[in-house]
């Protein structure tokens, strides 16, 4: 009886810690249905996460962006695109889990020589100890009706960051689908490394060439393949936690209070509202609005746009799918995390004998007492037939890492030394390298779906949970071996 009473506090503490871990890391269960349930309402809203079996999916504001066919009436506030989209969570095989995204009463299509574009960004992490991601599959289900002389289809691309390369120098994985017939197209690729979490950006350009052509996206899937968990991981995790709690129950009981206070203080200091997200004041979320405004703020960083921020040499019209994309046709999604910046979504594409060149540039001033120590450029691209994509990414005092190629796929370019003002410049050259024949006008192609440009501050405040864990860990380390608190 004495022993039971002796261990009762430790047992109660074990339950408390488990509940605390669940609240810190857990997520509600995923439920298939309207995607609006997982789409944050505003750009100031926190990302929404849910767990399906062994995976946790996280969606931020503007996770889904659709640039419709010109014949479609745009969706305007207070309605949202997410209200017209379904998400399905499913597991076709053991160890394989994923999602399916499909439009409902607002279809995704292009017709009569027009194009439309779907951009989808989210992250996924493994919730079950001992599991890791082994590979991914991207699939699309489309319908195509074409005139004999014309054509329609999709150019779909996906960037997964970053399951390839090494831990020290991670590289992205690129999946792509060029599909010109009705049915399902897919591609699977294994991961070179064993990540427990990845970020996904996929883009689907729906295209047609002539009057009478039609192409529509019925749905697209994403599947993740995982390993079989090792039973020893669960035993070691549970046993280690229990032993640590029994040995240091007093320290944990008192230290958790300090840890909670630290976490609350950190959260309170992380709720600033950056000006770049204020699309009401800017007048919209297209690039021309940001150029007209001149500058805006993210996390204290001042981003400045000018007349020369956007230069596009368009392809010759009529030879393929490419058209002139103006700043008003570029959707801007603001990124407010540790890597502050923008995702630019457009329909830059060439086919047949077309070629084009894009330059995007802006400057960044770091907050007082801070400095910019790196910049990151990420693209999602596809190419087919004879198509090619090239370019460059530069940052003030930037030194590209060894083996650097374009597109970089999320490889940071360090600024040496750190700078207080930096200029980021991205140049992308597209060329289809084909001819004006009917077949080449569609199947020889190059497509840039989006471009992400961000900076990292040397003294950026870590996200609340990391700060809490770091602070709590330091406190606990200082108390290990003591019998009581000072």
**For the segment 131-187, what is each residue's pLDDT rounded down to a tens digit?**
999 999 999 999 998 766 568 899 999 999 889 888 777 888 889 999 999 999 999
199-208: average pLDDT: 93
Q: Worst-scoring range by mean pLDDT, 4-18, 44-58, 60-74, 292-306?
A: 4-18
3-state secondary structure the chain: CHHHHHHHHHHHHHHHHHHHHHHHHCCCECCCEEHHHHCCCCCCCCCEEEEECCEEEEECCCCEEEECCCCCCCCCCCCCHHHHEEEEEEEEECCEEEEEEEECCCCEEEECCCEEEEEEEEEEEECCCCCCEEEEEEEEEEEEECCCCCCEEEEEEEEEEEEEECCCCEEEEEEEEEECCCEEEEEEEECCCCCCEEEEEEEEEEEECCCCCEEEEEEEEEEEEECCCCHHHHHHHHHHHHHHHHHCHHHHHHHHHHHHHHHHHHHHCCCCCCHHHCHHHHCCCEHHHHHHHCEEEECCEEEECCHHHEEEECCCCCCCCCCCCCHHHCEEEEECCCEEEEEEEEEEEEECCCEEEEEEEEEEECCCCCCEEEEEEEEEEEEECCCEEEEEEEECCECCCCCCCCCCCCCEEEEEEEECEEEEEEEEEEECCCCCCCCHHHHCEEEEEEEEEEEEECCCCCCHHHHHHHHHHHHHHHHCCCCCCC
In this prediction, residue 478 has a pLDDT band, given cuts at 50, 70 and 90, of low
Out of 82-96, 142-156, 260-274, 419-433, pick the least confident.
Answer: 260-274
The HSE-up count of residue 353 (CA atoms within 13 Å, CB side) is 8
With a cut of 90, say whether residue 32 has pLDDT above it: yes
The per-residue pLDDT of the chain, averaged, comes to 82
Q: Give the range among 13-27, 67-81, 124-138 with minimum mean pLDDT.
A: 13-27
Q: Inform me whether the pLDDT recorded for 344 exceeds 90.
A: yes
Q: What is the per-residue pLDDT for 187?
A: 94
- Residue 239's pLDDT band, with cuts at 50, 70 and 90, is very low
The mean pLDDT value for 74-83 works out to 91
> Mean pLDDT across the stretch 59-78?
92
pTM attached to this predicted model = 0.75
* pLDDT tens string 388-437: 999 999 999 999 877 777 876 778 899 999 999 999 999 999 999 999 88
Band of pLDDT at residue 52, cut at 50, 70 and 90: very high
The whole-number pLDDT of residue 410 equals 75
Q: Higher-confidence residue: 336 or 15? A: 336
State the average pLDDT over residues 238-258: 43
154: nearest Cα among 166, 167, 141 = 141
Highest mean pLDDT among 24-38, 166-180, 342-356, 463-477: 342-356
User: Per-residue pLDDT averaged across 40-54, rounded?
Assistant: 91
Q: Any idea where the domains of the chain sit in the sequence?
A: 21-226, 248-270+461-486, 275-457
Q: What is the pLDDT of residue 249?
A: 45
- State yes or no: pLDDT of 243 exceeds 50: no
> What mean pLDDT do residues 324-350 have?
92
pLDDT, position 472: 52
* Residue 483 predicted with pLDDT over 50: no
Smallest Cα–Cα separation from 335: which of 474, 477, 454, 456? 454
Interval 429-476: pLDDT, tens: 999 999 988 788 888 999 998 999 999 998 644 444 444 444 555 454
pLDDT reported for residue 280: 86
**pLDDT at res. 92:** 94
What percentage of the chain reaches a pLDDT higher than 90? Answer: 58
């Amino acid at each position: 009886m004495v022993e039971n009473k002796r261990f009762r506090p430790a047992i109660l503490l074990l339950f408390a810690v488990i509940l605390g871990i669940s609240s810190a890391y857990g997520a509600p269960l995923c439920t298939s249905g309207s995607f609006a349930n997982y789409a944050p309402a505003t750009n100031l809203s926190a990302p929404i996460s849910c767990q399906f079996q062994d995976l946790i999916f996280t969606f931020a504001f503007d996770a889904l962006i659709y640039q419709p066919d010109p014949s479609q009436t745009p969706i305007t506030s207070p309605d949202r695109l997410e209200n017209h989209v379904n998400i399905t969570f499913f597991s076709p095989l053991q160890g394989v889990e994923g999602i399916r995204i499909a439009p409902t009463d607002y279809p995704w299509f292009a017709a009569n020589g027009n194009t439309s574009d779907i951009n989808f960004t989210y992250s996924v992490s493994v919730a079950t100890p001992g599991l890791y991601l082994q590979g991914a599959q991207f699939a699309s289900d489309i319908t195509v009706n074409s005139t004999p002389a014309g054509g329609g289809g999709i150019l779909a691309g996906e960037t997964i960051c970053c399951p390839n390369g090494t831990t020290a120098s991670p590289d992205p994985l690129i999946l792509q689908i060029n599909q010109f017939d009705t049915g399902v197209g897919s591609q699977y690729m294994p991961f070179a490394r064993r990540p427990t979490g990845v970020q996904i950006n996929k883009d689907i350009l729906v295209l047609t060439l002539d009057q009478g052509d039609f192409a529509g996206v019925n749905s697209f899937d994403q599947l993740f393949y995982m390993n079989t968990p090792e039973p020893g991981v669960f035993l070691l995790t549970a046993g280690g936690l229990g032993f640590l709690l029994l040995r240091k129950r007093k320290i944990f009981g008192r230290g958790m209070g300090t840890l909670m206070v630290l976490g609350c203080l950190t959260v309170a200091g992380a709720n600033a509202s950056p000006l770049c997200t204020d699309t009401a004041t800017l007048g919209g979320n297209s690039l021309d609005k940001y150029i007209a405004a001149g500058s805006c703020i993210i996390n204290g960083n001042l981003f400045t746009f000018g007349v020369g921020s956007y230069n596009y040499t368009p392809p010759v019209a009529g030879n393929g799918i490419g058209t002139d994309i103006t700043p008003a046709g570029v959707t801007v999604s603001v990124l407010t995390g540790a890597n502050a910046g923008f995702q630019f979504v457009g329909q830059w594409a060439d086919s047949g004998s077309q070629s084009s060149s894009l330059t995007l540039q802006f400057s960044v001033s770091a907050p007082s007492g801070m400095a910019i120590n790196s910049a990151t450029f990420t693209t999602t691209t596809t190419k087919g037939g004879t198509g090619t994509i090239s370019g460059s990414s530069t940052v003030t005092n930037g030194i590209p890492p060894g083996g650097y190629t374009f597109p970089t796929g999320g490889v940071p370019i360090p600024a040496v030394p750190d700078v207080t003002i930096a200029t980021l410049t991205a140049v992308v050259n597209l060329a289809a390298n084909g001819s004006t024949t009917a077949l080449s006008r569609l199947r020889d192609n190059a497509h840039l779906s989006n471009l992400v440009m961000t900076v990292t501050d040397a003294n950026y405040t870590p996200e609340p949970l990391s700060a809490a864990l770091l602070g709590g860990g330091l406190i606990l380390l200082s108390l290990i071996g003591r019998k009581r608190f000072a």
